[in-house]
Copies of this chain bind each other. A is one copy, B any other.
C-alpha cells in the first residue's frame, strides 16, 4: 500500500535518491573506462547493490511523490528510477506525471515493458492515458478489461477535450430509491474496494434516472429501516458529459462539492466527477495560462531538447517581430523630425512603455471580471472610470516626465510635447485596455492570453505616433 508521508520525509528520500543516482553514474563511467580490468566483478556487485538501495528508497512512496521526483531529475536519470519501481507504482506514476514526461517515457520504453507496467491500471486511468499511448498498446491493455470497462475507454475518448466527459469516471455506486438504508449499507459492504473520493451513493429510479444522492454521513445517521427515497438529498448539482469542464470546476468551487453525478440527456446516471479530477484540471489550466501569457504553448520540459524548445517558442517571437517591425515603421515616418531633435529618440520609448503598463493593468482587471462573469450592462460605467483614472495618471506622470525632459534637455516645448503625449497615450491605453479583452471575449477567445500582445501593439504604435506627431507639429 502506498501511504502519505510528511513533506520532510519525501524530501529526505529525494536527496537519498539523488545521491544514489550520482553514485550510479560514477560507477557506470568507471565501468566503461576499465572494461577489460579484472575488477569487473567487484564493480558489477557495487552497481547492483547501488540499484538495490535505489529500489528500497523509491518503494512505498506515493505515486504523486514519485511523479514529482521524476520531474525534477535530468532525463537520463528518470528512466533509471522509473525502472526500479514496483510494477503497480510504475503504472500509477505514469498517470501522475505531466503529459510531456509521460510521452517521453512511453517513447523510451519497449512495447512489452509498457504493457507490463500498465497492466494493473483500471479503465478510468487507462482512458486518461489513452492520448499518450500507441494504439496497439491501448488495444492490448483494453483486451484485459471487462466489456463494460473496455467500452468506457473507447467512449470517453469521443468527448471533446475540456469537457465534463473527459473528467468523469465510471466508478459510481448507485442504489434504487425504493431500497432502504440497510440495503444501501449492504451494497457498500459487498464491494471489495471503494473508489477514492466516494462520499455518497447516487439514488436512481428503476430506469437508472438520477433522483438524488445519499451522503455517507446521512447513511450513518438514518434509521436502517428508512426508505432511501424519503431521506435522500434531492437538490444536487448534476452535469452532462458534453458540458465544458469549466462549468464543473465553477460549481465544485462555489458549492464545496466532493463528488457530483454525470447524467445523459435522458437524466440517466452515466458517471461521476470528483474533486481531485477537478483540482487537477484547474491546476493544469492555470499552469498552461501562466506559460501561455509568456508565449509558450505547452508545459515545456525543463530539459527538453533544443529543437523542441525552439518549436515551442518561435511562433511567439515571430508575432513579436511583426508587431515590433510595424511600430518601427511608424518611427520611420518621422525620421526627419528625429534628425532635427535627436532627444526624441531617447524619450519616445518612455511614452510607449508607460502606455503599455497602464493598459495592461486595465486588461488584468477586465479579464478577471470577464472570467468571474461580473460584467453585465456595466461596460460603459467601467470605461468611464478607467478613462478617469488614466487622466489622473496621465496628468501626474505626464507632468513629472515633462519636467524631467525640460531638466535634461532645457527645452520647454519638448517637455510640453512629452506631457501631452503621455496623457493622450494613457487615454488610448485605458480605452484599448477595456475594449481589447471585451472584443476577444465577444469572438469567443480567452481574454487572459491574447489581450496583452494586442494592447502592447496599440500602445507602442500610438505612443510613437502621438509623441513624434506632436513633436513634428510643435518643434
Which A residues lie at the B interface, using CB under 8 A? Answer: 3-7, 14, 18, 62, 64-65, 68, 71-72, 74, 185, 188-189, 194, 196-199, 216-217, 219-221, 235-237, 247, 250-256, 258, 275-276, 279-280, 283, 286-287, 290-291, 293-296, 299-300, 302-304, 306, 309-310, 313-314, 316-317, 320-321, 324-325, 327-329, 331-332, 335, 338-339, 342-350, 352-354, 357-358, 360-361, 363-365, 368-369, 372-378, 381-382, 385, 388-389, 392-393, 396-397, 400-401, 404, 408, 448, 460
Q: Known contacts A324-B350, A324-B354; decide if A377 and B339 are in contact (CB<8 Å).
A: no
Q: Known contacts A361-B294, A363-B294, A368-B291; decide if A220 and B219 are in contact (CB<8 Å).
A: yes
**A327 contacts B310, C-beta separation under 8 Å:** no
**B349 contacts A343, C-beta separation under 8 Å:** no
Question: Which residue of B has the minimal Cβ distance to A404?
Answer: B325
Q: Which of B64, B68, B300, B347 contacts A365 (CB 8 A)?
A: B300
How far does the Cβ of A304 sit from chain B's closest Cβ, in whole Å? 8
**A309 contacts B199, C-beta separation under 8 Å:** no
Question: Which residue of B has the minimal Cβ distance to A233?
Answer: B3
Chain B residues with CB under 8 Å of A320's CB are: 353-354, 357
Q: Known contacts A338-B342, A346-B331, A349-B324; decide if A250 and B7 are in contact (CB<8 Å).
A: yes
7 residue pairs of the A-B complex, CB under 8 angstroms, read A6-B237, A72-B375, A286-B286, A290-B364, A303-B385, A309-B389, A325-B401
In the complex the two chains form, what is the Cα distance from A299 to B352 in whole Å? 26
In the complex the two chains form, what is the Cα distance from A346 to B374 in whole Å? 42
A7-B250, A279-B279 known; 12 other A-B pairs, CB under 8 Å? A14-B376, A18-B377, A68-B373, A68-B374, A188-B221, A194-B217, A256-B276, A291-B364, A293-B364, A325-B401, A335-B342, A338-B338
Chain B residues with CB under 8 Å of A237's CB are: 4, 6
How far does the Cβ of A338 sit from chain B's closest Cβ, in whole Å? 5
**A392 contacts B306, C-beta separation under 8 Å:** yes
**B216 contacts A358, C-beta separation under 8 Å:** no
How far does the Cβ of A77 sit from chain B's closest Cβ, in whole Å? 10
Question: Which residue of B has the minimal Cβ distance to A330?
Answer: B346
In the complex the two chains form, what is the Cα distance from A258 to B339 in whole Å? 68
Q: Known contacts A62-B255, A237-B4, A258-B197; decide if A321 and B291 are in contact (CB<8 Å).
A: no
What's the dominant secondary structure at chain A's contact region?
A: helix
Q: Which of B198, B221, B279, B286 contacts A217 (CB 8 A)?
A: B198
In the complex the two chains form, what is the Cα distance from A302 to B339 in whole Å? 44
Question: Which residue of B has the minimal Cβ distance to A313?
Answer: B361
**A372 contacts B68, C-beta separation under 8 Å:** yes
**B357 contacts A197, C-beta separation under 8 Å:** no
Q: Known contacts A302-B378, A365-B291; decide if A258 and B235 are in contact (CB<8 Å).
A: no
Question: Which residue of B has the minimal Cβ distance to A77?
Answer: B378
In the complex the two chains form, what is the Cα distance from A275 to B18 in whole Å? 33
In the complex the two chains form, what is the Cα distance from A220 to B286 in whole Å? 38
In the complex the two chains form, what is the Cα distance from A236 to B1 in whole Å? 13
**A389 contacts B460, C-beta separation under 8 Å:** no
**B374 contacts A302, C-beta separation under 8 Å:** yes
Question: Which residue of B has the minimal Cβ distance to A396?
Answer: B314
**B332 contacts A256, C-beta separation under 8 Å:** no
Question: Which residue of B has the minimal Cβ distance to A217?
Answer: B194
Chain B residues with CB under 8 Å of A303's CB are: 378, 381-382, 385
Q: Known contacts A321-B400, A338-B338, A389-B310; decide if A369 and B199 are in contact (CB<8 Å).
A: no
Chain B residues with CB under 8 Å of A397's CB are: 317, 321
Q: Known contacts A62-B254, A302-B375, A346-B328; decide if A357 and B295 are in contact (CB<8 Å).
A: yes
